[in-house]
């Protein structure tokens, strides 16, 4: 009685300690803890600092200076001769420089870095969408293996019962030892399949825990998520081309490089700057100087640096365009292939569902005939194998459908 109460108490605690894990929890923890997301978030902040740096060129540049010389030799002409005097000296100064116009070089540079910031944002969003896609796949894979374990365990239980029946029929002389041995071999094969499936489940959970940055407890159960929404193939390609984060990032890159090219060309025209300075100096005499003016600076010869920079910016702009076109082409190709696969998996799912119904009916008839000695063990094992194949095939078809739809959602920039 005590042992029974202890067992009940243990089972009660096990039920309480069992934790249910949802897909949304996995996604939230992965987005929070994954190092790639943290790194790209820092990259967004870094790109914003470049915008601030570029904007600084349009703000006044103020500098303060101070100089002190404890020993300074002064040369003084006196009666046709030069005499030297050693004394200390000091100087303080302030200067201000304000850019007036630089033929839109600074304006283009600022806009270029703003495009770079947008590109960094889209890259971060694309990384988030890709991470969510991977988490969904491993979560669904773990669910698949969990359900496969249940199916295989039922198959093992059926083979165990079949083996017991075979042994009983051998004792009665209705079956041979070969019957029992063959069924026992099939039982061992099913047990090995169970071990392989358990290992695959452990791998999926291990990878999922790495994405989450948190270990998944052994007693954790996975809650089945809502099936992904159906995709309309006619409008899907256009929707992907409009919403894909990677493609948006490439568009921002094209505009960024075009603006940098414009800024590089503007460097040929120089700039107009206003400047002012004030200095107070104490050497042998005390005096101050002040200066206010406007300066035009035009680069006449830079050793080919400016023209080379312009050419480099132009090439980068053209490369960005071709990169965008290539990426767009790959997106169209992948979308078309995914839609073809999706249609195929749906046909496979229907076929497996029909096969399951047929296999269940056939298995019942064959097993009943086997008990009466009207069927061989080979027919029984074949019927069991067809049923198992159909059950596992249906799970794999559903997983393939979910995986394909999840991939399409990722290409569309879905973040949930």
**pLDDT (tens digit per residue) in 177-189:** 877 888 888 889 9
Question: Are the C-beta atoms of residues 169 and 56 closer than 8 Å to each other?
Answer: no
In a domain, 289, yes or no: no
Measured between alpha carbons, how far is 222 from 139 in angstroms, rounded to an integer? 8
User: CA-CA distances (angstroms) from residue 242 to 113, 325, 372?
Assistant: 23, 14, 66
User: CA-CA distances (angstroms) from residue 376 to 159, 169, 390?
Assistant: 14, 12, 22
In a domain, 249, yes or no: yes
Those residues whose C-beta lies under 8 Å from the C-beta of residue 303, and which sit 6 or more positions away, are none
| Residue written as token pair 């399951």 | 356
pLDDT at residue 73 greater than cutoff 90: no
Measured between alpha carbons, how far is 413 from 416 in angstroms, rounded to an integer? 9
pLDDT at residue 12 greater than cutoff 60: no
Cα 383 from chain centre: 45
Query: How many residues are recorded in the chain?
Result: 416
228 phi and psi angles, rounded to 5 deg: -65, 150
Q: What was the pLDDT predicted at 7?
A: 46
Question: Are the C-beta atoms of residues 43 and 122 closer than 8 Å to each other?
Answer: no
Cα 32 from chain centre: 12
Per cent of the chain over pLDDT 90 is 53
Q: What was the pLDDT predicted at 18?
A: 54
User: Averaged over 41-50, what is the pLDDT?
Assistant: 92
Map residue 159 onto helix, strand or coil.
helix
Question: Are the C-beta atoms of residues 58 and 106 closer than 8 Å to each other?
Answer: yes
**pLDDT (tens digit per residue) in 336-365:** 999 999 999 999 999 999 999 998 898 888
Strands 286-297 and 271-282, bridge-based pairing: antiparallel
In a domain, 111, yes or no: yes
Map residue 120 onto helix, strand or coil.
helix
Range of the domain at 52: 19-59+103-268+302-411
Map residue 289 onto helix, strand or coil.
strand
**pLDDT (tens digit per residue) in 199-228:** 999 999 999 999 998 888 877 888 887 776
Total domain count for the chain? 1
Those residues whose C-beta lies under 8 Å from the C-beta of residue 86, and which sit 6 or more positions away, are 71, 72, 73, 74
Rounded to two decimals, the pTM is 0.83
In a domain, 8, yes or no: no
pLDDT at residue 14 greater than cutoff 60: no
For the domain that residue 184 is a member of, what is the CATH number? 1.20.1600.10
In a domain, 273, yes or no: no
Q: What was the pLDDT predicted at 13?
A: 41
User: Which candidate, 145, 163, 175, 176, places its Cα nearest to that of 381?
Assistant: 163
In a domain, 3, yes or no: no
Give the bridge partners for 69, in sequence order.
Answer: 89
What average pLDDT is seen over the chain?
86
**pLDDT (tens digit per residue) in 224-252:** 877 767 666 668 888 899 999 999 999 99
**pLDDT (tens digit per residue) in 321-336:** 999 999 999 999 999 9
Q: What was the pLDDT predicted at 285?
A: 80
What is the 3 state secondary structure string of 223-277?
CCCCCCCCCCHHHHHHHHHHHCHHHHHHHHHHHHHHHHHHHHHHHHHCEEEEEEE
**pLDDT (tens digit per residue) in 281-310:** 988 788 899 999 999 888 888 888 888 888
Question: Are the C-beta atoms of residues 162 and 385 closer than 8 Å to each other?
Answer: no
In a domain, 86, yes or no: no
Question: Are the C-beta atoms of residues 242 and 68 closer than 8 Å to each other?
Answer: no
pLDDT at residue 257 greater than cutoff 70: yes
382 phi and psi angles, rounded to 5 deg: -65, -45
In a domain, 1, yes or no: no
């Amino acid at each position: 009685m005590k042992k029974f109460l202890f067992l009940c108490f243990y089972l009660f605690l096990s039920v309480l300690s069992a934790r249910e894990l949802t897909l949304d929890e996995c996604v939230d923890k992965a987005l929070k803890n994954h190092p790639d997301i943290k790194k790209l978030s820092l990259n967004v902040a870094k790109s914003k600092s470049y915008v601030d740096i570029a904007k600084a060129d349009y703000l006044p540049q103020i500098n303060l200076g101070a100089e002190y010389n404890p020993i300074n030799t002064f040369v003084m002409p006196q009666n046709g001769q030069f005499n030297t005097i050693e004394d200390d000296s000091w100087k303080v100064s302030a200067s201000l420089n304000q850019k007036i116009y630089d033929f839109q070089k600074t304006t283009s540079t600022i806009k270029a870095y703003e495009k770079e910031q947008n590109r960094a944002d889209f890259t971060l969003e694309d990384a988030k969408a890709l991470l969510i896609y991977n988490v969904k796949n491993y979560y669904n894979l773990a669910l698949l293996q969990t359900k496969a374990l249940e199916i295989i365990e039922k198959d093992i239980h059926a083979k165990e019962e079949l083996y017991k029946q075979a042994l009983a029929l051998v004792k009665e002389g209705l079956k041979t030892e070969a019957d029992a041995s063959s069924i026992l071999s099939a039982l061992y094969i099913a047990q090995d399949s169970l071990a392989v499936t358990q290992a695959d489940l452990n791998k999926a959970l291990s990878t999922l825990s790495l994405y989450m940055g948190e270990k998944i407890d052994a007693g954790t159960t996975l809650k089945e998520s809502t099936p992904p929404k159906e995709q309309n193939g006619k409008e899907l390609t256009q929707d992907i081309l409009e919403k894909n984060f990677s493609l948006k990032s490439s568009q921002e890159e094209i505009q960024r490089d075009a603006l940098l090219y414009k800024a590089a060309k503007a460097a040929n025209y120089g700039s107009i700057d206003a400047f002012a300075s004030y200095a107070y100096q104490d050497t042998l005499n005390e005096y101050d100087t002040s200066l206010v003016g406007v300066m035009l600076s035009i680069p006449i010869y830079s050793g080919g640096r400016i023209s080379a920079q312009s050419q480099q910016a132009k090439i980068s702009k053209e490369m960005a365009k071709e990169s965008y076109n290539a990426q767009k082409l790959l997106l169209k190709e992948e979308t078309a292939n995914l839609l073809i696969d999706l249609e195929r998996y749906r046909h496979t799912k229907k076929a497996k569902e029909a096969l399951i119904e047929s296999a269940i009916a056939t298995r019942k008839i064959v097993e009943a005939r086997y008990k009466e000695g009207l069927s061989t063990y080979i027919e029984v094992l074949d019927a069991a194998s067809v049923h198992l194949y159909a059950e596992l095939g249906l799970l794999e078809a559903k997983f393939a459908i979910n995986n394909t739809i999840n991939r399409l959602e990722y290409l569309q920039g879905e973040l949930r």
